[in-house]
Chains A and B, each alone.
Chain A
Amino acid sequence: GQQVMQIPQYQHVQEGEDFTTYCNSSTTLSNIQWYKQRPGGHPVFLIQLVKSGEVKKQKRLTFQFGEAKKNSSLHITATQTTDVGTYFCAGEGMRGFKTIFGAGTRLFVKA
């Protein structure tokens, strides 16, 4: 069945450094979503990418969807302590209405 792998599992950065998390699907996706979850909270929707090769920016966050629609990345420029949390990608398959989440990348930012 469809699987979504996400790396790295953890990332420790110094405030001001950049951060990237990568997501790979075993099957072609119709779309991919990114979420942020703080400890004790629920996933907060960040963005949905639909088009092959799509790149979208939200302030210091850059999201990419691969040409084959099987991989994606989230890049944060100049991290801040407010960026701490776990970032999840979630892919919806081409065949049905099933959204599969990656295991997440937990980001720690040291001031």
Chain B
Amino acid sequence: DAGVTQSPTHLIKTRGQHVTLRCSPISGHKSVSWYQQVLGQGPQFIFQYYEKEERGRGNFPDRFSARQFPNYSSELNVNALLLGDSALYLCASKGPYEQYFGPGTRLTVT
């Protein structure tokens, strides 16, 4: 919320394509988490990264991968897109006592 940036804002892809989503956390936060939110549901946890290491993984297929860079920014990659991957993808910047979400990337797969 206080400074998490994500790009792009919106994205339209075709089934089978690949997508890369980007996130920059709040300055000073070393942890980034990724979530998928389908309309009408709560965010579903995909990954958490801390100091470039994967710390947690949700129940998503191997088509989903992520990485974190030395400046703590992060990328989420999704291969072989399916219609069901259409969702709002949220990045969260995590501190010891709080977690702030970015505005999200709205992905539409046609």
| Residues of chain A at the chain B interface (Cβ within 8 Å) | 1, 6, 33, 35, 41-45, 48, 88, 90, 96-104
Contact = CB atoms under 8 A, between A and B. Distances in A.
B65 interface: no
Contacts of A96: 55-56
24 contacts: A35-B101, A41-B103, A42-B90, A42-B101, A43-B43, A43-B90, A44-B1, A44-B101, A45-B98, A45-B99, A48-B99, A88-B43, A90-B42, A90-B43, A96-B56, A97-B48, A97-B50, A98-B48, A99-B45, A99-B48, A101-B45, A103-B41, A103-B42, A104-B42
Nearest to B91: A42
Interface of B: 1, 33, 35, 41-45, 48, 50, 55-59, 88, 90, 97-104
Contact of B99 (A1, A6, A99): A99
A45 B42 contact: no
A41 B98 CA distance: 19
Interface pairs A-B: 7 shortest CB-CB: A97-B56, A101-B42, A97-B55, A98-B56, A42-B101, A97-B48, A101-B43
Nearest to B54: A97
Contacts, number: 55
A33 B99 contact: yes
A48 B97 contact: yes
Contact of A99 (B33, B41, B50, B59): B33
B96 to A, nearest CB: 9
Contacts of B35: 101
Contacts of B102: 42
Given A42-B103, A88-B43, 16 more contacts: A41-B103, A42-B88, A42-B90, A42-B104, A43-B90, A44-B1, A44-B101, A45-B101, A48-B98, A48-B99, A90-B42, A96-B56, A97-B55, A98-B57, A101-B44, A104-B42
A42 B106 CA distance: 11
A104 B35 CA distance: 15
A98 B92 CA distance: 13
